[in-house]
């Protein structure tokens, strides 16, 4: 791609190497259009999640999938298996696949398929965006709704119409930019507590996002624009644990409920079994999920969903210099539970909750 947009001006471009053009969101959307049946999957996905948050659908939302998608072939194999399981357990669980293309890093590291699709620091973002959109179309085409973290505020213009549930990550929940963006997103948005465990950060984010905002953004043609939003009334809390300790336990959940009530927000909580809730040790994810299920069976009414980091193979791997050495179906970011564990976690949860959930709907 031509690098002709960088004006050589030594003072003002001291730290810029290049500014490369991108196709506009409208161009990519025309090239890879969203049509039936994928469009129906998204519409249904959003509407079911909204109904779960409104207690009009008693099922437990389960956001399940790899920490990140790095190999679309393995991701699609995973999606096919998950779709089959989702259909089987649909009476109790509403399964949405984690399709995460943007990774927020504590310091540095691979930032996901959009940022560096070739995993070689060539940063072919236009190619990454196209591959991400193609993958999301395929997953939705299977009838499986998708969940993603919205990290770059421009990405939803390219991909948002394919996503049924969005997370704002622990590292960006406090960011005004992400709160503003979320206030205009069409799907429910889960705000994670801060990496330090702060629930108030997420509560403030939910409050902010429920209001209208006006801010600088882009339009479908890629031009900068003033974006005016209406506010998103389906934003909610995701407990993911903090640097000091997990927060999936019943005391932490009760404290989170109290914080939401104090802010006059609906008691809607999703519990992430990974990250700070399992010290990034995937072997602990089943323990967290069992505890969540137990709380619901004991009468908890605020837990509306859960999240699992899962892939075909257990654990994770560092990205090798020779990409042919990558282990198929194994995460290149956080460690995941393998497919067999995923299946038994979800089956056990569904079995334990069958018949219990309808009583939670008013
Ligand atoms: O879920 C992913 C990671 O926890 C997040 O991207 C941070 O990862 P890092 O601490 O390895 O950078
Ligand atoms: C980065 C993630 O989570 P968190 O923001 O909780 O660290 C994630 O879910 O991929």
Read off the CATH number of the domain in which 34 is found.
3.20.20.70
* Residue 2 falls inside a structural domain: no
Instruction: Tell me the mean pLDDT in the region 177-203.
Output: 98
Statement: residue 7 has pLDDT above 80: no
For residue 41, give every residue at least 6 positions away whose Cβ sits within 8 Å of its Cβ, in sequence order, or none: 140, 141, 142, 143, 144, 145, 164
Strand 303-309 to strand 93-98: parallel, antiparallel, or no bridges (unpaired)? unpaired
pLDDT tens readout for residues 111-153: 999 999 999 999 999 999 999 999 999 999 999 999 999 999 9
Residue 276 to residue 254: CA distance in whole angstroms: 18
Averaged confidence pLDDT in the chain: 96
Statement: residue 4 has pLDDT above 60: no
Statement: residue 46 has pLDDT above 90: yes
* Residue 175 falls inside a structural domain: yes
Indicate whether residue 243 lines ligand 1 (CB < 6 A). no
**Number of domains observed in the structure of the chain:** 1
Q: With pLDDT > 90 as the criterion, what percentage of the chain qualifies?
A: 94
- pTM (predicted TM-score): 0.96
| 307 CA closest ligand 2 atom index | 9
Q: Residue 279 — pLDDT band, cuts 50, 70, 90?
A: very high
3-state secondary structure of 147: strand
Statement: residue 17 has pLDDT above 80: yes
* Residue 97 falls inside a structural domain: yes
Query: Is 96 within 8 Å of 61 (Cβ atoms)?
Result: yes
Which residue has the least CA distance to atom 3 on ligand 2? 169
* Residue 70 falls inside a structural domain: yes
Ligand 1 center–CA 104 separation, angstroms: 6
Closest ligand, as measured to the CA of 318: 1
Ligand 2 center–CA 275 separation, angstroms: 7
296, 297, 301, 302 alpha-carbon torsion, rounded to 10°: -10
Indicate whether residue 334 lines ligand 1 (CB < 6 A). yes
Which residue has the least CA distance to atom 10 on ligand 1? 106
* Residue 5 falls inside a structural domain: no
Which residue has the least CA distance to atom 7 on ligand 1? 105
Instruction: Tell me the mean pLDDT in the region 205-213.
Output: 98
* Residue 19 falls inside a structural domain: no
Give pLDDT, residue 13. 86
Q: How far is CA 217 from CA 26, 211, 214, in A?
A: 15, 17, 9
* Residue 143 falls inside a structural domain: yes
Q: To test the ligand 2 pocket, which listed residue (175, 272, 275) has its Cβ within 8 A of the most ligand atoms? A: 275
Residue 291 to residue 233: CA distance in whole angstroms: 29
The parent domain of residue 215 ranges over: 25-357
Give pLDDT, residue 1. 44
* Residue 17 falls inside a structural domain: no
Statement: residue 99 has pLDDT above 80: yes
| 109 CA closest ligand 1 atom index | 12
Statement: residue 10 has pLDDT above 90: no
């Amino acid at each position: 791609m031509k690098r002709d947009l960088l004006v050589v001006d030594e003072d003002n471009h001291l730290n810029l190497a290049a500014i490369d053009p991108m196709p506009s969101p409208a161009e990519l959307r025309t090239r890879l259009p969203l049509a039936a049946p994928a469009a129906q999957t998204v519409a249904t996905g959003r509407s079911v999640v909204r109904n779960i948050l409104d207690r009009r659908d008693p099922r437990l939302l389960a956001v399940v999938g790899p920490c990140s998608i790095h190999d679309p072939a393995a991701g699609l194999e995973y999606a096919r298996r998950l779709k089959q399981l989702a259909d089987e357990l649909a009476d109790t669980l509403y399964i949405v696949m984690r399709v995460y293309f943007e990774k927020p890093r504590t310091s540095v590291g691979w930032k996901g398929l959009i940022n560096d699709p070739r995993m070689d620091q060539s940063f072919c973002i236009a190619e990454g965006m196209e591959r991400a959109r193609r993958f999301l179309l395929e997953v939705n085409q299977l009838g499986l709704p998708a969940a993603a973290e919205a990290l770059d505020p421009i990405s939803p213009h390219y991909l948002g119409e394919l996503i049924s549930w969005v997370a704002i990550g622990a590292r960006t929940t406090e960011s005004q930019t992400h709160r503003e963006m979320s206030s205009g997103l069409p799907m429910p948005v889960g705000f994670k507590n801060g990496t330090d465990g702060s629930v108030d950060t997420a509560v403030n984010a939910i409050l902010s996002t429920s209001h209208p905002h006006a801010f600088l953004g882009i339009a479908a043609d890629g031009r900068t624009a003033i974006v005016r939003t209406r506010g998103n009334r389906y934003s909610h809390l995701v407990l993911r644990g903090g640097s000091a300790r997990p927060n999936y336990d019943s005391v932490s959940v009760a404290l989170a409920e109290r914080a939401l009530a104090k802010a006059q927000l609906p008691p809607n909580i999703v519990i992430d079994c990974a990250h700070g809730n399992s010290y990034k040790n995937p072997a602990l994810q089943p323990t967290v999920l069992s505890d969540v299920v137990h709380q619901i069976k004991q009468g908890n009414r605020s837990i509306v969903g859960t999240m699992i980091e899962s892939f075909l193979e257990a654990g994770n791997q560092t990205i090798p210099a020779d990409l042919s050495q990558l282990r198929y179906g194994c995460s290149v970011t956080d460690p995941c539970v393998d497919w067999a564990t995923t299946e038994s976690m979800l089956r056990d949860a569904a079995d334990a909750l069958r018949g219990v959930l309808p009583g939670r709907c008013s």
